[in-house]
């Protein structure tokens, strides 16, 4: 496993650690940020966008099982990352439903049933554990695909090279001495 693969996996691990500590918002923020990063790896400039986020979600998450759309997930991402709210400018404009979450012993089916009884179509509901599992599986599939496709691997590695790096101080000092 390469160092950059470990770094991507570490993002999911951090999200799951937060979730296990019942830090729900930080867990989801890390999870949505991870999807942003994963999607950005296959853009020409390495910069995340709504399109790169939604494209990655459509390609790698089981949206039928999650019962929401890539736009719903993107709208939830915008709300949480920017304002720690379920709504966002994207959802307010009608481009996405609001995401409601169930976790642990809470059941997403109960949320869906209540929404139906209220005749509300404003919400989609996801089980946080299912969302984590879907992103974990999506990353596994993504990494497996990229390793077998040289053109994609080259683009991903180029964009990974632009990521923040933790430079060993000894290497930096050796460079300074040589320069």
169, 171, 172, 175 alpha-carbon torsion, rounded to 10°: 160
Apex CA 138: angle with CA 59 and CA 131, to 5°? 105
**Residue with tokens 């300074």, as numbered in its chain:** 176
- Taking Cα atoms as reference points, which of 126, 67, 124 lies closest to residue 101? 126
Model confidence pLDDT, tens digit, residues 146-166: 999 999 999 999 999 888 877
Q: Which residues of the chain have pLDDT under 50?
A: none
d(CA 176, CA 39): 35
pLDDT of residue 102: 96
What are the backbone angles phi and psi of residue 45, rounded to the nearest 5°? -100, 0
pLDDT of residue 74: 98
Handedness of CA 19, 115, 66, 28 (dihedral sign): negative
Token pair for 96:
């996405």
pLDDT of residue 30: 98
pLDDT of residue 166: 75
One DSSP character per residue, 72-138 reads HHHHHHHHHHHHSSS--HHHHTTSSPEEEEE-TT--HHHHHHHHHHTT--SEEEEEHHHHHHHHHHH
Token pair for 30:
């890390």
pLDDT of residue 174: 84
């Amino acid at each position: 496993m390469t160092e950059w693969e470990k770094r991507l996996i570490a993002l999911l691990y951090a999200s799951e650690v937060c979730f296990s500590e019942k830090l729900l918002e930080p867990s989801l923020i890390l999870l949505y940020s991870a999807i942003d990063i994963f999607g950005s790896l296959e853009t020409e400039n390495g910069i995340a966008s709504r399109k790169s986020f939604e494209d990655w979600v459509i390609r790698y998450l089981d949206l039928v099982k999650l019962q929401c759309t890539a736009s719903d997930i993107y709208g939830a991402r915008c709300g949480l990352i920017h304002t720690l709210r379920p709504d966002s400018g994207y959802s307010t404009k009608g481009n996405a439903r609001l995401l409601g979450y169930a976790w642990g012993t809470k059941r997403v089916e109960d949320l869906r049933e209540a929404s139906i009884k209220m005749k509300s179509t404003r919400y989609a509901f996801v089980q946080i554990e299912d969302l984590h599992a879907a992103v974990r599986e999506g990353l596994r599939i993504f990494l497996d695909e990229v390793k077998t496709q040289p053109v994609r691997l080259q683009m991903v590695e180029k964009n990974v090279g632009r990521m923040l790096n933790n430079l060993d101080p000894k290497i930096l000092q050796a460079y300074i001495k040589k320069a």
